[in-house]
Structure 1
Amino acid sequence: MEATKRIYIFLIIVTLVMVLIYAQGIIIPFILAILFLFLIRVIRNILSKIKYVGRLPQWVLTIISSVLLLTFLVFTVEMISQNIQQLSKTLPVYEANVNKITNSISQQFNVDLSSLLSDFADELNFGGILSKIFSTLTGLFGDAFMVFLYLIFLLLEEPILPKKVKAMYPDQKSYNRINGLIKKIDKSVSNYIAVKTLVSLITGMLSYFVLLIIGVDAPLFWSFLIFVLNFIPSIGSLIATLFPTIFAMLQFGDITPAILVLAIVGAIQLIMGNLVEPRIMGTSLNISPLVVFLTLALWGVMWGVTGMLLSVPITVIIIIIMSEFPDTRPIAVLLSQQGKINKKEEK
């Protein structure tokens, strides 16, 4: 029986992975809609605390929150498109500066980089690099209609869900358990999204002013890239810093602006990521750093950059659900940060 059970579990896991890979066109828009729902709820909670505005009915606050989020997304996409066009016009300048940078480094460090990098420089296609970056970003909004459709139904379903859960679990004990599970998922994911969005937004804004002062082309595009990539744990902030650094060097044909971008934007990333974010977020997510890295790689392989962005919220939900069932509770403990999965154990 035990061997049969393990075979069934293995087959279920394999089937689930296959579905996640081949049905990602349906699943990813749905998950994005759920995350947008959490963002709308965060905005709605903020509005509810404002004097006079908080007195409005909840459905009115939901509409206002949805309009604010949608306006922000449309404005962002429009501004990014304009910045991409600006960058595209200056690509010949970037390509011409490659040799200039190579000669400058060769003279300063007495190394013949011209022969070493000649083939590499000839093969560099900055237009292709730029288009790949843009396609990755716009890919998140590529299924905008599906995400919007899912979001509408989720918003319509939200006020009815408690009644459905109550009808599904008429027993008070079972209802309290399921209701508690839903609240734990809601709180953990909402806190993560709210804090991560706030920290990433501040990081992007500070980086924007730095890039603007230094004179880097399309600072809004790079600051938005920093904002998005900050949602990817561990490596996101590193990649977000390297991109504008490299393009600053190519734009000016000099290494000094690149060093300034690397130093200042890197310092902002370190301060926000290692000092500000942990103080605000604390250890509420309760995920092992090793698990964060492994899930980042796993979801990245299955869903690419989008999977990396969604890896932490998905892992949080999985840990919370697993912690509620005796058979999967040991796995939740293993995935947790300190082997503690509820407040009772921490005492």
Structure 2
Amino acid sequence: MEQRVMGQRGVAVMIGITTAILAAAALQLASGIFAPVAFALFIMALVWPLQKSLQRVLPQLLALFITLAVTIVVLLGLVSLTVWGFGRAAQWLIANAARFQTLYMQGAGWLEGHGLYAAGTFVETFNVGWLIRFFQGVAARVNGMLGFSVVTAIFVMLGLLEVDVMRRKLAGAEAGEAGHSLLRASEEIARKFRRYMVVRTAMSFFTGLAIWAFAATAGLDLAFAWGVIAFVMNYIPFIGPLVATLLPTLFAVVQFESWQMAVAVFAGMNVIQFFSGSYIEPRIAGKALAMSPFIVLLSVFFWAFMWGLPGAFIGVPLVIAALVVCDQHDSSRWVARLLSGQAPAKD
């Protein structure tokens, strides 16, 4: 009897793993549909309070138009800042390409002089051409998101028109307890999304301001551009701060021609990122947004692999939504507690 139960559990586990793999494959293959829908739901959760407030004094279509206009302006502002910041860095890079290449060759010569002959291969791979292609790739990705943004905007527009109708259906008697549970979960998810973005925006602004001030004090070229890049990249946990720290460090090596100064820039910027992300942000976010750092990192890489740049941005909110859903049911509440960043309650 016991062996039969164990066998059934094994079959259930295998079915669950297979289902998860097939679901992940479907999400990736149909990313052109699922990614804009997920992004649209995320934006709807953020802007719905504005839409709801406007509808109290304005016709629904006019309130929708104003809400969409505000949303588009904010998104275009973030995209413009991203393009401007990386564009400034790319211009500086092209103007100083010879200095970059000379520095790489000197470094390779020093390494080979100490018996590290693999440095030649490193120079062939990681040279100024690689850096130029990196900046070109960033610009191409940002420009390539135009189609994604149009599809997302259409979903947002249609979704905002349906929010009130859907809410009344879920709150009605016909939906039953399942509808009420889904409504509670949706409201809690939306509330946490808004708090997440408020905290993330505040920390991004603080980080960008601190990076700009530090770079200007250190005499680093493009100080304001590095602050802008730190601001926009901080919306992507782990990956964004890493990029915003490594690039100025690399440029500092070329500008000052001193590895000591580069180390100082790298250390100073990492102190800022650590203080912002590991000390201030958890205290502002509180327990409501607590998540395991491992899960945060995994979610960023997983959704970046699935949906690219939009996935990296929305990865953490998707995990927040999943944890809220798990917390709504007794059978899965342990999952939400396990993956949260909160310490277990003491007996």
TM over 0.5, shorter chain: yes
What is the TM-score with the length of structure 2 in the denominator?
0.77
One-letter identity of the residue aligned with 1:291? I
What is the TM-score with the length of structure 1 in the denominator?
0.77
1:94 corresponding residue in structure 2: 100
2:131 corresponding residue in structure 1: 129
1:86 and 1:32 map into 2 onto residues whose CA distance is 34
Alignment of 1:30 with 2:37, yes or no, is: yes
1:79 to 77, 84, 94: 84
Question: Within 5 Å, which residues of 2 pair with 1:253-292?
Answer: 253-292=257-296
Change beyond 3 A, Cα 1:28–1:250? farther
1:60 and 1:297 map into 2 onto residues whose CA distance is 35
Task: Using the TM superposition, give the Cα deviation of residue 91 of structure 1 relative to its aligned residue in structure 2, in angstroms.
Answer: 1.7
Change beyond 3 A, Cα 1:4–1:272? closer
Change beyond 3 A, Cα 1:338–1:235? same
One-letter identity of the residue aligned with 2:30? A
One-letter identity of the residue aligned with 2:323? I
1:11 to 14, 18, 23: 18
1:142 and 1:60 map into 2 onto residues whose CA distance is 25
Change beyond 3 A, Cα 1:34–1:325? same
SS of residue in 1 equivalent to 2:288: coil
2:12 and 2:281 map into 1 onto residues whose CA distance is 42
Alignment of 1:185 with 2:189, yes or no, is: yes
Alpha-carbon contact 1:296-1:311 (below 8 Å) kept: yes
1:169 and 1:54 map into 2 onto residues whose CA distance is 20
After superposition, give the CA deviation of every residue in 1:166-203 in whole Å (9 maximum; x if it has no partner).
Answer: 22552275544322111100011111122112211321
Change beyond 3 A, Cα 1:295–1:78? closer
Number of residue pairs matched? 331
Question: Within 5 Å, which residues of 2 pair with 1:1-347?
Answer: 5-38=12-45, 40=47, 44=50, 57=58, 58-59=63-64, 62-63=67-68, 65-73=70-78, 75-80=80-85, 82-83=87-88, 84-99=90-105, 112=113, 117-136=119-138, 138-140=140-142, 142-168=144-170, 170-171=172-173, 173-234=177-238, 236-303=240-307, 306-338=310-342
Change beyond 3 A, Cα 1:264–1:335? closer
Task: Using the TM superposition, give the Cα deviation of residue 99 of structure 1 relative to its aligned residue in structure 2, in angstroms.
Answer: 4.5
Identity of aligned residues (%): 24
2:200 and 2:339 map into 1 onto residues whose CA distance is 21
1:279 and 1:86 map into 2 onto residues whose CA distance is 38
SS of residue in 2 equivalent to 1:184: helix
Task: Using the TM superposition, give the Cα deviation of residue 155 of structure 1 relative to its aligned residue in structure 2, in angstroms.
Answer: 3.3
Alpha-carbon contact 2:246-2:266 (below 8 Å) kept: yes
Backbone CA RMSD of aligned residues = 3.8
Point out where structure 2 has 5 or more consecutive residues left out of the alignment: 1-7
Alpha-carbon contact 1:225-1:240 (below 8 Å) kept: yes
Larger CA deviation: 228-237 vs 176-185: 228-237
One-letter identity of the residue aligned with 1:188? K
Task: Using the TM superposition, give the Cα deviation of residue 86 of structure 1 relative to its aligned residue in structure 2, in angstroms.
Answer: 3.7
Larger CA deviation: 315-324 vs 203-212: 203-212
After superposition, give the CA deviation of every residue in 1:251-289 in whole Å (9 maximum; x if it has no partner).
Answer: 332224323422332222122122221221112113223
After superposition, give the CA deviation of every residue in 1:11-54 in whole Å (9 maximum; x if it has no partner).
Answer: 32121111122222333333334444455458x49xx7xxxx99
After superposition, give the CA deviation of every residue in 1:38-75 in whole Å (9 maximum; x if it has no partner).
Answer: 55458x49xx7xxxx99964546514522531441353
2:44 and 2:170 map into 1 onto residues whose CA distance is 23
2:36 and 2:65 map into 1 onto residues whose CA distance is 25
